[in-house]
Amino acid sequence: MSTSPSSTPASTAGIDLFGYGLAFFGAALFSTKGIFIKLAFAEGATIEATLALRMMLSLPVYLAFMAVLLIRNPRLRPLLTPGRLFGAMAVGSLGYYVSSYLDFAGLAFVSAQYERLVLFTYPFFVLLFGVWFFGDRMNWRLVPAMLISYGGLLVIFTWNLSVQPDGLLIGTMLVLGSALTFAFYQHLAKRQMLVLGSMLFTCIGMSTAAVLAIGQSLIADGIETYRAFSPDLWMIGIMLGVFGTVLPSFLLNGGISRIGARATSATASFGPIVTIVLAVFVLGEEFTFIHAIGTGLVLLGSWLFARTDRHSRQDRK
């Protein structure tokens, strides 16, 4: 993966297939995160300990990557001025610490399937934040697609409210908060990666988030908590750190650096399917006819959103 963004099109149509591929596989791997978190909760881990476990096992990888990058690419070192370094640390903390903590906290109240569907609406927030804060043009043709997806969420929310209302509202708000902060992070990250490159920015941002998460857990849980972890919990942590964190973070940020925040956010259609299949077969979660209707509406709205957005971009060229 290149350490600097590339704008070279991957086809004569101007579509960066490699960039879309990075975003697609990153989203699919990120979709396994909720499964590993639920498994960790089942082993008795707290929200703070689970987040710290994820970061603890991924931090050495990011530090090693960063060291290799700076050694092999001396031209990157002058880029790390105090201001840029602080900016990368702050943006990374927003996307990988604040957003992650809200997501982990929400999973303590809602199912992995529902959490993924709520997070799946973050492209809409990417669009709105781009219009409100970053000078993007509003595309009103995208609004019907957004309404379809939120209609699907409303179907599942209403059903859950009738059968298992405990914690549903707070869980939904926490996961929506995660989607909001991650959408804002994507716009800020794009600007950081234009200067530092996707890999160096990812290493700095994730390392900062890891230190914050581990420090929070040591204060909240104490070091004795980690000595009591079972081998199964450590294995879950390794899977969460590698397949739910390290690999998808590099893939997703590589996608953002090549095709932009909005296009990256629109490639995640496969993610909820991965989560649903794993949630049903690994966690034993229910998947009823109501779930199928709601999920279908969310996916349909997201597909229409991506399709309309793509056609609008092509029309402007």
The pLDDT score that the predictor gives to residue 305 is 77
Torsion angles phi and psi, residue 257, rounded to 5: -65, -25
Confirm if 248 and 24 have CB atoms less than 8 A apart. Answer: no
What count of other Cβ atoms lies within 10 Å of the Cβ of residue 231?
7
**Contacts for 153-162: CB closer than 8 Å, 24+ residues apart:** 153/117, 153/118, 153/121, 153/294, 153/298, 154/294, 155/290, 155/293, 155/294, 155/297, 156/114, 156/117, 156/290, 156/291, 156/294, 156/295, 157/114, 159/288, 159/290, 159/291, 159/294, 160/110, 160/114
Count of other CB atoms within 10 angstroms of residue 84: 16
The whole-angstrom separation of Cα 184 and Cα 19 is 20
Residue 3: per-residue pLDDT: 40
∠ CA 35-39-40 to the nearest 5 degrees?
Answer: 115
Whether the pLDDT of residue 218 is over 90: the answer is: yes
pLDDT, average across residues 224-253: 87
**pLDDT reported for residue 35:** 93
Q: Please give the Cα distance from 218 to 169 (Å, whole number).
A: 29
| Residue 39: exposure state from Cβ atoms within 10 A (0-12, 13-18, ≥19) | buried
The residue that leads in pLDDT, 268 or 175, is 175
pTM of the model: 0.81
Q: What is the pLDDT of residue 2?
A: 38
Please count the CA atoms within 13 angstroms of the CA of 185 that sit on its side-chain side.
28
Segment 29-86, tens digit of pLDDT: 888 989 999 999 999 999 999 999 999 888 998 899 899 989 998 888 888 888 899 9
**Cα separation of 200 and 60, whole Å?**
14
- Please, what is the Cα angle at 144 between 168 and 269, to 5 degrees? 65
| Positive or negative torsion for Cα 19, 22, 28, 34 | negative
Q: What share of the chain is helix, strand, coil (3-state, %, to 5)?
A: 80, 0, 20
Pick from 126, 124, 127: nearest CA to 153: 124
Q: Is the dihedral of CA 166, 163, 171, 274 positive or negative?
A: positive
Phi-psi region of 81 (alpha: psi -120 to 50; beta: other; left: phi over 0): beta
Q: Which has the higher per-residue pLDDT, 54 or 314?
A: 54
Q: Helix, strand, or coil here: 5?
A: coil
Q: Quick check: 314 pLDDT over 80?
A: no
Q: Over the Cα atoms of the chain, what is R_g?
A: 19
Give CA–CA dist 275/95, Å, rounded. Answer: 21
Domain locations along the chain: 17-316
- Residue 154 confidence (pLDDT) above 90: no
